[in-house]
Structure 1
């Protein structure tokens, strides 16, 4: 009888101990789940990486261009870069909500679609535009725009290297598209000891007339003709064939801001190094994300460039490319 009672007491003790163990374990588990971990404070590097890239959702060949730019952005950022492909009818409100959720501090907007969908974002988010030639100066004042238009300073430096006797640069431009670029070109020409003869034209008829006047008085021994990227003054069907033909007949050096023109007979052009352009865009975005302000607003010409040359045109002009210190990234006609 005593032994039975003793056994029952031991059994009850075990049960009590087991219950105590499970209660304690439950408290520990609950403690783990309800304990408020201290918030992780983002350091300067983490803040700097809070950037996004908004780019058009389009097909080839343009998709590859944007993909290469993205590669450059991600290489420079070396951290979390959020990419958003947007269609022509993408919702700004949906994008804004996604950016807020991810605590994005700066956005790289590529192409017209990228700029459109980011145009009404909260002003606390910095917008760095790229993949466009130009935007109205009124729009560019509040953001940073990396244009695809090559820096005139780089163009003129290449011109002097290939055509050392050049003294004047002739150009026809639409001020609505390239007024900002011609301002830079005037200073760049002075730095290279060149005189810039810039004629305005705001329609096709005026552009043709200006070219006819310039070409009739051009001196191939000292002049060179520059074709900017301009939908009015460098019209592909009416203007370009005329200018290429006359420049060839006069042995007048003609260079362009469009690589496609080199294939058709321009002496040389500068075109984007898309990977380096991506790195440059990322650098501007990282700077804004870290500081909350732009180092410089407005339009910036393309400085990350590659060089294309037409060997047939060079030979026609008596230019010995083998003696040039320039490195040619693209050669026409293709070997």
Structure 2
């Protein structure tokens, strides 16, 4: 089952619809009372003929608006001059005749839905173009979805979450796919977009700003999940003058053995432990409580790629800004519509927010004044 979501602020479609309702024929009827046939086409000054022919496809993106229906209260009539100004915008001209953008997002309940609706908000703000959003689930009929997207002239799909990505499996090959709001857990995920995983470079920069005397970052990881991330982390650590001490654990049992040994040998003044997004070495029910206990007892700073760990005792973590992620995805989608190359890399997130645990900060000897606290987006425990 597919649920379609439409934004009331679809400016371009509204402007074009306004031309149909407020064109010369409508004016003639109003002044004379006679019935006048609407023109077959509307001449748009400055727009090539080929582009004008494709403009009609954009009318489909306005739900429930047609010349035969009452005008919607949320649409503001505009003049032809205003319409021309909008059509001269580079992003609009680049997309006319080259298809539309669609968003697939998981059909989930709150609070999980909030992250995806924030991403959609960012997408709509950046594009300023008609964007249809479809809620999909595991029972999704791939053929039905493909047909709907083709009929809407879709050329780029932004797939949010694992369900959104899974729903793209049956799409036509000429529809480009961008992914957001997912965790890349393997190099084999041959997709383009933005991962939920924070960029290690930004994590390490924040760590260095908080604790400039640190010299080493300790991490335990499973190569099947995180080899790609550790490669990025080595370069990021080097740029901050840090040593990345990375230890391999192929299963939870090995991770449970390594953490106590590594933390016991660590110097809390010079070493810190990093928890990446890794389902094996950062398992929530057994491994995470173990690491939290050992680092607290040893006075070793612990930071994470998962913001939920800050509430449980990690010093700090970074989390994607979902609206900004949507804007970044939209910029890439517009580039694809304009003829840009399709990427094949899922990059870590670089538009981030930061959470800090003041109790843990005090425990490791870090005193943060009011001004410093204000530099964080989330502060725990809450005042």
- TM bin, normalised by shorter chain, reads 0.7 to 0.9
Measure the CA separation in 1 of the matches of 2:39 and 2:124: 37
Q: Does 1:308 align with 2:358?
A: no
Q: Does 1:113 align with 2:173?
A: no
Spell out, residue by residue over 1:215-272, the C-alpha distance to the aligned partner (whole angstroms, 9 max, x if none).
1211112100000122110111111111111111111010001111100110000012
Measure the CA separation in 2 of the matches of 1:60 and 1:34: 47
The answer on whether the counterparts of 2:222 and 2:248 sit within 8 Å (CA) in structure 1 is yes
Equivalences for residues 138-287 of structure 1 within 5 A: 138-140=188-190, 143-287=191-335
TM-score by length of 2: 0.75
The answer on whether the counterparts of 1:169 and 1:226 sit within 8 Å (CA) in structure 2 is yes
Equivalences for residues 46-57 of structure 1 within 5 A: 46=96, 50-57=100-107
In structure 2, relative to structure 1, the CA distance for the partners of 1:162 and 1:59 (3 Å cut) is same
Instruction: Give 1:148 deviation, angstroms.
Output: 0.3
In structure 2, relative to structure 1, the CA distance for the partners of 1:167 and 1:36 (3 Å cut) is closer
Equivalences for residues 25-44 of structure 1 within 5 A: 40-41=52-53, 43-44=93-94
The answer on whether the counterparts of 1:51 and 1:106 sit within 8 Å (CA) in structure 2 is yes
Q: Does 1:320 align with 2:367?
A: yes
Partner in structure 1 of residue 87 of structure 2: none
Spell out, residue by residue over 1:304-329, the C-alpha distance to the aligned partner (whole angstroms, 9 max, x if none).
11010000011111112117487111
Measure the CA separation in 2 of the matches of 1:131 and 1:247: 30
Find the partner of 1:70 among 103, 116, 120: 120
**Aligned residues between the structures:** 303
Query: What RMSD, in angstroms, separates the aligned Cα atoms of the two structures?
Result: 2.1
Measure the CA separation in 1 of the matches of 2:374 and 2:211: 12
In structure 2, relative to structure 1, the CA distance for the partners of 1:136 and 1:122 (3 Å cut) is farther
The answer on whether the counterparts of 2:185 and 2:226 sit within 8 Å (CA) in structure 1 is no
In structure 2, relative to structure 1, the CA distance for the partners of 1:48 and 1:189 (3 Å cut) is farther
The answer on whether the counterparts of 2:95 and 2:334 sit within 8 Å (CA) in structure 1 is no
Does the residue aligned with 1:301 lie in a helix, a strand or coil? Answer: strand
The answer on whether the counterparts of 1:49 and 1:286 sit within 8 Å (CA) in structure 2 is no
Measure the CA separation in 1 of the matches of 2:242 and 2:152: 50
The answer on whether the counterparts of 1:255 and 1:268 sit within 8 Å (CA) in structure 2 is yes
**Structure 2 unaligned regions, length at least 5:** 1-34, 43-48, 55-92
In structure 2, relative to structure 1, the CA distance for the partners of 1:185 and 1:47 (3 Å cut) is farther
Measure the CA separation in 2 of the matches of 1:173 and 1:78: 41
Report 1 or 2 for greater relative contact order, CA contacts < 8 Å, sequence distance ≥ 6. 1
Spell out, residue by residue over 1:160-213, the C-alpha distance to the aligned partner (whole angstroms, 9 max, x if none).
011111100000112222111111101000000000011111211011112123
TM-score by length of 1: 0.85
Higher helix fraction: Structure 1 or Structure 2? 1
Measure the CA separation in 1 of the matches of 2:41 and 2:355: 60
The answer on whether the counterparts of 1:111 and 1:132 sit within 8 Å (CA) in structure 2 is yes
In structure 2, relative to structure 1, the CA distance for the partners of 1:33 and 1:277 (3 Å cut) is closer
Does the residue aligned with 1:138 lie in a helix, a strand or coil? Answer: coil
Larger Rg over CA atoms: 1
In structure 2, relative to structure 1, the CA distance for the partners of 1:212 and 1:271 (3 Å cut) is same
Measure the CA separation in 1 of the matches of 2:203 and 2:99: 34
**Structure 1 unaligned regions, length at least 5:** 1-27
Partner in structure 1 of residue 77 of structure 2: none
Measure the CA separation in 2 of the matches of 1:35 and 1:299: 46
Measure the CA separation in 2 of the matches of 1:108 and 1:116: 12
